Amino acid sequence: MKTLQFTGQVSDIKSWCKENGIPEHVGRRRYVEHAILGCIARSGKLRNAIVFKGGNALRIMYGSSRSTLDLDFTALPDALSDDEDDLRVIADEAFRTSANSFGVKLRCQKVKRNPRGQEFTTPTYKISVAYQFPGDRYYENMETRNLSETVPVEISLNDVVCDMSELSPVANGRSTIKVCSLEDILAEKLRSILQQKVRNRNRSQDVYDIALFARSHAASINWQAVYTYFAIKCQARGIIAERKEFDVAIREMAALNYEKEINRQARDAFISFDDAWNEVERVVEGLPPANS
């Protein structure tokens, strides 16, 4: 697998889409992701405060074939204020140079804490980033418009990052962002599979991602690190980190809508659910036995 970072300017979107077999509306969105990450890399406050993770980190930084809608981050301890207004100010400050640096306007249109109550200590901030390209209908006055075209960004607070590195989100770029290591992301995906019961949400995409990298990067992944990080992340959320927890009920939840979701997100590199779950089981077999 190869990383699919945008390598040009706004004027190159059409040719880049043609070269990579991507529809132009998808290419526009990918370019906006490129601009958002680039702005974060140039923002001292955000670059030092948040760590890129999740499905799009796997696609952009590690070459996954699966595409998701949102850009996911975890905030480092005490690096960001747990406040919607403060986060909006910091984000808009980072996006202020997007037109000059990347040729597309960005604006923090909405910030929402989820769950709302301050008694919830591991919230996620959902941010809608609006954008307009030169020639778009509202490019000149987007600051006063409520736009339908947005890219969702999520920032989790008080979560655990076990391992990260500094990587450039822009091909051949000098500015870097903090990115969770492949081992850290896979460990979090194992934990998310077990959290299905707690959250009552199926995590079919995590089964796919683990299977994809277990097949393509098995020899280069430090699996012992994955297991260590998995145990740490489970402990932080009160989840039992044992093989037996990956039971029939967890499998059935993960299978819900798997075919539909993965066909939509990774049609060209589809893995059937049965094959993907078999890969997950092989990974889980490496977990230390209970009470070891």
199 pLDDT band (50/70/90 cuts)? confident
Kindly report whether the peptide bond that precedes residue 77 is cis, defined as omega within 30 degrees of 0. no
Say whether both 37 and 158 belong to one domain. yes
Q: Residue 2: is its pLDDT beyond 60?
A: no
pLDDT digits (tens, 9 = 90+) for 205-231: 999 999 999 999 989 999 999 999 999
pLDDT, residue 210, reads: 98
Given this model, what pLDDT does residue 174 score?
A: 80
Placement of tokens 């290419």 in the chain: 27
Q: Do residue 61 and residue 147 come from a single domain?
A: yes
Q: Which of 149, 180, 211 is the last residue of a domain?
A: 180
Residues 91 and 6 in one domain: yes
> What tens digit of pLDDT does each residue of 15-32 get?
989 988 889 999 999 999
Whether the CB-CB separation of 71 and 36 falls below 8 Å is answered with yes
Claim to verify: residue 210 and residue 79 sit in the same structural domain:
no
Calpha distance 10→68 (Å, rounded): 21
- Residue 135 pLDDT: 94
Pair 72, 191 in one domain = no
* Pairing state between β 177-180 and 50-53: parallel
Query: What are the tens digits of pLDDT across the range 94-141?
Result: 999 999 999 999 999 999 999 988 888 889 999 999 999 999 999 999
Mean pLDDT computed over every residue of the chain: 92
Count of CB atoms within 10 A of residue 154's CB? 16
At a CB cut-off of 8 Å and minimum separation 6, what does 191 contact? 230, 233, 234, 237, 239, 241
Same domain? 17 vs 128: yes
In the chain, beta strands by DSSP E: 50-53, 71-75, 105-114, 124-132, 150-156, 164-167, 177-180
Q: Provide the pLDDT confidence category of residue 292 given band limits of 50, 70 and 90.
A: low
* 115 lies in the same domain as 219: no
Residues 198 and 158 in one domain: no
Residue range(s) defining the domain that contains residue 131: 1-180
pLDDT, tens only, 141-187: 999 999 999 999 999 999 999 999 999 887 667 889 999 999 999 99
Give yes or no: residues 141 and 262 share one domain. Answer: no
Q: What confidence score (pLDDT) does residue 5 get? A: 61
189, 169, 125, 129 alpha-carbon torsion, rounded to 10°: -130
Q: Please identify, among 152, 180, 208, the residue that sits at the C-terminal boundary of a domain.
A: 180
The residues facing 75 across adjacent strands are 50
Q: Does one domain contain both 156 and 211?
A: no
Q: Please identify, among 111, 146, 180, the residue that sits at the C-terminal boundary of a domain.
A: 180
Task: Give the model confidence (pLDDT) of 69-98 as tens digits.
Answer: 899 999 999 999 999 999 999 999 999 999
The predicted structure's pLDDT at residue 197: 87
* Number of structural domains in the chain: 2
pLDDT of residue 4: 54
Residue 245 confidence (pLDDT): 95
Q: What pLDDT sits at residue 67?
A: 85
Residues 139 and 237 placed together within one structural domain of the fold = no
Same structural domain, 172 and 41: yes
Tokens for 81?
């204020």
Q: What is the pLDDT of residue 291?
A: 56
CATH of the domain at 33: 3.10.450.620
Model confidence pLDDT, tens digit, residues 250-265: 999 999 999 999 999 9
